[in-house]
């Protein structure tokens, strides 16, 4: 259920209620302003979900080494010394899909309906339940979701249930994109020739995926059908870790526009966005059994996740430069990591000892991510006049693109689109310069280390010469000692002989 403030923000039929909601928000702002500057921002929410042993792990007699303890703690055992990890919530193997949704996703959906951008993404080893947690079973039975339904279908149904209950005037759009081997693909469009490009939003608030299709939906069933069709198009493959492993990162986005009446009777649009991200599995390439193309694929997956890890480390260390641009995944998640978005990371792990390396890696990754601080801000209300002007500008730009294509004079793009591509190319060139600078620094370090190695080698050679001389002296002394012992033995023999005579 939504809390009272959420209800007020959605119910637009009573201007008096909207006014009360705005006044309440104003008083909340006054309270916030009294806080010290250093308290600005909130840590992202990190949740751990433990998968019970599967048939393969049971057959291998692999013991349980990870145990959910209380609501917020997990204990790693049988590793020399027990180690305890704390997160915002820990779900054991007995947890249900409904529990995970109600405790993790429902509060976040409430924030979306209040006008925030929010992200939930699942991270973990292949086969630990990321896709099950995010998607689960997408089919309906008798018009209702099954108990195995994941966060995405439950969020879709709850969204429309809430909007319809509150009699809100609204529109909902969905998009579904896949990132595979650093290439973006629109899962709602079967045109494989369409290229998706990422551009920085001119307002500086995030990124825009050019060419991505957004479908307007009016019912939960319609959204679920789109999700089912898109999921069929995802790239999957069999690995030793999982018979049906998702080999791509997948981002499902719900965008909600809700009409409100503000004091004075003017209409505005409240906008909220929910990104639901199912990351490809992190894995040890050797243990996953990946070969040839699959090994390259696993390498690309690990590379993007490695960049994600580097971004997390830079954010936690408060570095001036955060390497978002080194991967398309981190570019897409930029606002979710250190930006204005409310973010939740769901880390999924096995509990079996045979996966000990991956368990520890995921736990440490999640623990590190818990220190990231975002600065969530509600989206600005949009006035219909401004929104209409933006649509007109978009239409004019598309018309210019079409006209340029028809005339076929040189570049078949409007000047605005061409400028966007030029800006991206310039940014790439700047990145090359930055990387070249890094390479030069590494070369200097290599030269210093080579010089140091040469000096150490010379020192070692000198010590070896000294050792050889000492060994030669020792050999001479040993020979002399032998001769002396022989002479002494001979003399003692002579003395004994005289004594007997």
pLDDT of residue 142: 84
Instruction: Tell me, yes or no, whether 487 lies in a domain.
Output: no
Q: Is the pLDDT of residue 332 over 70?
A: yes
Q: pLDDT by residue (tens digit) across 453-487?
A: 988 988 998 899 899 999 999 999 989 998 889 88
Q: Is the pLDDT of residue 381 over 70?
A: yes
Q: Which residues does the annotation place in the binding site?
A: 124-131
Instruction: Tell me, yes or no, whether 470 lies in a domain.
Output: no
Instruction: Tell me, yes or no, whether 286 lies in a domain.
Output: yes
pLDDT of residue 168: 80
The helix-helix angle for 220-232 and 151-165 (nearest 10°) equals 160
Instruction: Tell me, yes or no, whether 68 lies in a domain.
Output: yes
SS3 state of residue 272: strand
Instruction: Tell me, yes or no, whether 64 lies in a domain.
Output: yes
Query: 3-17, 101-115, 344-358: lowest mean pLDDT where?
Result: 3-17
Q: pLDDT by residue (tens digit) across 206-250?
A: 788 888 999 999 999 999 999 998 888 876 544 444 444 466 899
Note down the domain range covering 139.
4-15+46-199+213-258+272-380
Instruction: Tell me, yes or no, whether 50 lies in a domain.
Output: yes
Beta strand residue intervals within 233-352, DSSP E: 236-237, 245-246, 249-261, 267-278, 342-350
CA distance 498 to 491: 11
Question: What angle (nearest 5°) sits at the alpha carbon of residue 233, between those of residues 229 and 234?
Answer: 120
pLDDT of residue 36: 34
Instruction: Tell me, yes or no, whether 293 lies in a domain.
Output: yes
Q: Is the pLDDT of residue 257 over 90?
A: yes
Q: Which residues does the annotation place in the binding site for ATP?
A: 124-131
Domain harbouring 345, CATH code: 3.40.850.10
pLDDT of residue 286: 45
Q: pLDDT by residue (tens digit) across 392-450?
A: 877 887 787 777 777 766 555 666 677 677 777 777 777 787 778 878 888 888 998 99
The mean pLDDT value for 272-287 works out to 78
* Overall domain count for the chain: 1
Q: Which tokens is 431 given? A: 């990145």
What's the chain's average pLDDT? Answer: 81
Q: pLDDT by residue (tens digit) across 354-380?
A: 999 999 999 999 999 999 999 999 988
Q: Is the pLDDT of residue 16 over 80?
A: no
* DSSP collapsed to 3 states, 42-69: EECEEEEEEECCCHHHHHCCCCECEEEE
Q: Is the pLDDT of residue 348 over 70?
A: yes
**How does DSSP classify residue 354?**
G
Instruction: Tell me, yes or no, whether 131 lies in a domain.
Output: yes
Q: pLDDT-based confidence at 289, cuts 50/70/90?
A: very low
């Amino acid at each position: 259920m939504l809390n009272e403030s959420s209800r007020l923000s959605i119910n637009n039929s009573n201007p008096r209620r909207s006014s009360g909601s705005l006044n309440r928000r104003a008083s909340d702002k006054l309270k916030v302003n009294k806080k010290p500057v250093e308290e600005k921002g909130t840590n992202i929410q990190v949740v751990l979900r433990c998968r019970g042993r599967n048939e393969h792990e049971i057959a291998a007699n692999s013991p349980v080494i990870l145990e959910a303890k209380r609501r917020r703690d997990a204990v790693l055992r049988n590793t020399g010394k027990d180690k305890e990890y704390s997160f915002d919530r820990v779900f054991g193997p007995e947890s249900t899909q409904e529990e995970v949704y109600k405790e993790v996703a429902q509060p976040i959906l409430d924030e979306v309906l209040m006008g925030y951008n929010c992200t939930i993404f699942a991270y973990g080893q292949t086969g630990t339940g990321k896709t099950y947690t995010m998607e689960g079973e997408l089919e309906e039975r008798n018009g209702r979701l099954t108990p195995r339904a994941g966060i995405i279908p439950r969020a879709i149904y709850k969204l429309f249930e809430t909007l319809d209950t509150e009699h809100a005037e609204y529109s909902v759009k969905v998009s579904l994109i896949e990132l595979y081997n650093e290439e973006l693909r629109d899962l709602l469009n079967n045109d494989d020739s369409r290229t998706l490009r990422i551009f920085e939003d001119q307002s500086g608030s995030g990124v825009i995926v050019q060419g991505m299709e957004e479908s307007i939906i009016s019912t939960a069933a319609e959204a679920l059908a789109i999700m089912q069709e898109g999921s069929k198009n995802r790239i999957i493959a069999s690995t030793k870790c999982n018979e049906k492993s998702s080999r791509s990162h997948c981002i499902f986005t719900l965008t909600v526009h809700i009409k409100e009446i503000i004091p004075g009777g003017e209409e505005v649009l409240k906008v909220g966005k929910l990104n639901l991200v199912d990351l490809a599995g992190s894995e040890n390439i050797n243990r996953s059994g990946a070969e040839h193309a699959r090994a390259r694929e696993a390498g690309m997956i690990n590379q993007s996740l490695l960049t994600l890890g580097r971004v997390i480390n830079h954010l936690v260390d408060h570095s001036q430069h955060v390497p978002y641009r080194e991967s398309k995944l981190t570019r897409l998640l930029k606002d979710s990591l250190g930006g204005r978005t409310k973010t939740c990371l769901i880390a999924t792990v096995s509990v079996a000892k045979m996966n000990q390396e991956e368990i520890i890696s995921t736990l440490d990754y999640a623990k590190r991510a818990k220190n990231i601080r975002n600065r969530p801000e509600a989206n600005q209300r949009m006035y219909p006049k401004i929104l209409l002007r933006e649509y007109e500008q978009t239409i004019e730009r598309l018309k210019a693109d079409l006209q340029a294509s028809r005339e076929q004079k040189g570049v078949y793009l409007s000047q605005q689109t061409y400028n966007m591509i030029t800006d991206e190319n310039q940014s790439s060139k700047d990145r090359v310069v930055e990387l070249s600078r890094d390479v030069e620094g590494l070369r200097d370090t290599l030269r210093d280390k080579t010089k140091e190695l040469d000096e150490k080698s010379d020192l070692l050679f000198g010590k070896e010469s000294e050792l050889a001389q000492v060994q030669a002296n020792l050999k001479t002394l040993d020979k002399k000692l032998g001769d002396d012992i022989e002479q002494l033995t001979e003399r003692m023999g002579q003395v004994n002989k005289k004594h007997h005579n």
